[in-house]
Amino acid sequence: MPTRQFVCVIDDDESMRESLVGLLGSEGLRAVAYASAEAFLASDDLTAAAFLIIDVSMPEMSGPQLQDVLIERGVTTPHVFVSAHADGVIRRRVLERGAVAYFVKPFDEDELLATMRGVLGA
């Protein structure tokens, strides 16, 4: 894997954040979680992460809106979306705009990890 084995989780659901940070840690990845898109955008981790896991539906700024901001700022960090809803329109939009995958909760953790490994070169 590249030297930037650092993953940011952006999700307003505390249990999902904790679960993903624990899962990633068990795989030897350092993970930091943010409760909102705004908190992530205000952080120093914006360009430091090797991979992002972004919730679709969050208060204030949604995941797709965060993706738009990242594109506007030239941030090209690989990312996946997770959502409690299988919305084909949103799924298609975020994938067309560069997301690696779109997972519907509850998703297969092994599939998420395999996707990350493929992107990170492990």
CATH number, domain of 57, equals: 3.40.50.2300
Burial of 110 (0-12, 13-18, 19+ CB in 10 A): exposed
Q: How many CA atoms lie within 13 Å of 39's alpha carbon, on the beta-carbon side?
A: 13
pLDDT at 11: 98
Query: Could you report the per-residue pLDDT of 67-104, keeping only the tens digit for each?
Result: 999 999 999 999 999 999 889 999 999 999 999 999 99
Q: Count structural domains, the chain.
A: 1
The pTM (predicted TM-score) of the whole model is 0.94
Which of 59, 16, 19 is CA-nearest to residue 37? 59
Question: Would residue 15 count as lying in a domain?
Answer: yes
21/97 Cα distance (integer angstroms): 25
Residue 90: give the domain boundaries. 6-120
pLDDT at 1: 35
Question: Would residue 26 count as lying in a domain?
Answer: yes
